[in-house]
């Protein structure tokens, strides 16, 4: 389409800001409605695999991401005692690096600055109050009093997506997997030059992930009751209890965890929207449509791929509905493959029975998945 579109992006996270940058840079009028009062990213750090970095290059922020993060090429696998079992080089997509670890707040700032520079308007502290669609557009009223008519509304509003609820009710509420992620940011150890993954015959996996020249995070996944929450006074001790069987670099990192408030706990849930991801001119993307477990480090990568492919689809199609159909046909198989393998890896690592379909996915494995995912998206 050559005529500029009016687009509302509901959600100012990684995927939403990537889309805003890509579309505004193409001359479209883009508003981003973000419920938070400011772009403060929760959590610790994030891995940008090569396919995600490929998107960052296309929207013009690759150098900024690499400068704020820690670029790496090799995955180190250790046994629970810390002895190195394998060093696995990670593939590249084109000439982008294999991977980059970056603090979430730094990535949020980079993407927000890029979106505004491209011409998008980010409206903080607001969400959709009313929405009415007809064949030619969508009338939207936001809770901050702004109202407008848009050619396209995109829900990049996360795993708890309010827009998904508007479209489908409670049919696709997040499904708790039975597992949770424990993470804590620490000073980076000099020997941590890439992700260090320690696992074995323990019902757990722990990772050290560099996210800047100075910082790394310790992450681990455990089965947890749905209503469990760490004790605010002893979360660090609870984490130590769960990782008591690990030695080597994991134990050394764990010894530095002394503040319970530094421990970030998040339940791992999944969303699979089985119906079309778009209804007319309203579309869901990223975690709102296909949230996965973190076991391939591809959740945010799938979101930014969604964003860039949507921009490409709008470039190529004659109408918004045609673009959305083409976009979903291209994105659904890849996103569902990532979701299926991620869940299968979680089950395998925690001793949970897998299905025949999951066993077939597991034949690819994490190293094989990295090679699949540097192919064109």
DSSP 124: E
Residues near 147 by beta carbon (within 8 Å), at least 6 away in sequence = 139, 140, 141
Residue 202's pLDDT is 60
pTM: 0.96
Q: What's phi and psi for 233, nearest 5 deg? A: -90, -20
DSSP 4: P
Q: What's phi and psi for 64, nearest 5 deg? A: -65, -40
Whole-angstrom distance, CA of residue 126 vs CA of residue 331: 29
Mean pLDDT by 10 residues, the chain (377 residues): 92 97 98 89 85 98 98 95 95 96 95 98 97 96 97 98 97 94 96 91 83 96 94 97 93 96 95 96 98 95 98 97 97 97 89 93 93 95
- Domain range list for the chain: 6-44+104-173+272-372, 176-269
CATH 3.50.50.60 fits 6-44+104-173+272-372, yes or no: yes
DSSP-H helix ranges across 74-199: 104-118, 162-168
Residue 152's pLDDT is 98
| Closest by Cα among 11, 4, 6 to 291 | 11
- CATH architecture assignment, domain 176-269: 2-Layer Sandwich (3.30)
Token pair, residue 309, equals 């492919």
Whole-angstrom distance, CA of residue 273 vs CA of residue 55: 24
Distances (CA, A) of 170 to 131, 161, 165: 18, 11, 6
Q: In what order do the strands lie in the sheet with 70-72?
A: 45-49, 99-103, 70-72
Token pair, residue 182, equals 């424990």
Q: What's phi and psi for 42, nearest 5 deg? A: -85, 160
């Amino acid at each position: 389409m050559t005529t500029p579109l009016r687009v509302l992006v509901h959600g100012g996270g990684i995927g939403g800001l990537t889309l805003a940058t890509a579309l505004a840079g193409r001359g479209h009028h883009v508003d981003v409605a973000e419920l938070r009062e400011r772009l403060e990213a929760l959590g610790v750090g994030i891995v940008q695999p090569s396919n995600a970095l490929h998107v960052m290059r296309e929207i013009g922020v690759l150098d900024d991401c690499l400068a704020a993060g820690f670029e790496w090429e090799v995955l180190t696998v250790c046994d629970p005692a810390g002895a190195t079992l394998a060093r696995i080089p990670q593939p590249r997509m084109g000439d982008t690096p294999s991977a980059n670890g970056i603090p979430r707040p730094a990535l949020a700032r980079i993407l927000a600055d890029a979106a505004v520079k491209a011409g998008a308007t980010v409206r903080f502290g607001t969400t959709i109050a009313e929405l009415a669609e007809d064949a030619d557009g969508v009338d939207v009223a936001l809770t901050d009093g702004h109202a407008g008519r848009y050619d396209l509304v995109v829900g990049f509003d996360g795993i708890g997506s309010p827009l998904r609820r508007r479209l489908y009710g409670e049919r696709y509420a997040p499904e708790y997997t039975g597992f949770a992620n424990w993470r804590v940011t620490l000073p980076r150890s000099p020997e941590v030059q890439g992700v260090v993954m320690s696992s074995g015959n323990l019902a757990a996996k722990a990772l050290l992930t560099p996210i800047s020249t100075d910082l790394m995070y310790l992450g681990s996944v455990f089965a947890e009751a749905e209503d469990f929450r760490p004790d605010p006074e002893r979360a660090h001790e609870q984490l130590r209890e769960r990782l008591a069987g690990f030695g080597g670099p994991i134990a050394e990192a764990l010894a530095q965890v002394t503040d319970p408030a530094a421990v970030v706990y998040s339940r791992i849930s999944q969303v699979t929207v089985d119906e079309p991801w778009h209804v007319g001119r309203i579309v869901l993307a990223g975690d709102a449509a296909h949230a996965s477990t973190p076991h391939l480090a591809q959740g945010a990568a799938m979101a930014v791929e969604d964003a860039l492919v949507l921009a490409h689809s709008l470039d190529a199609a004659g109408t918004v509905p045609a673009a959305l159909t083409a976009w979903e046909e291209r994105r659904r198989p890849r996103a569902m493959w990532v979701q299926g393998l991620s869940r299968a890896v979680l089950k395998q690592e925690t001793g949970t029975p897998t299905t025949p379909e999951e066993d077939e996915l597991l034949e690819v494995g994490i190293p094989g998945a990295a090679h699949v995912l540097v192919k064109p998206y």
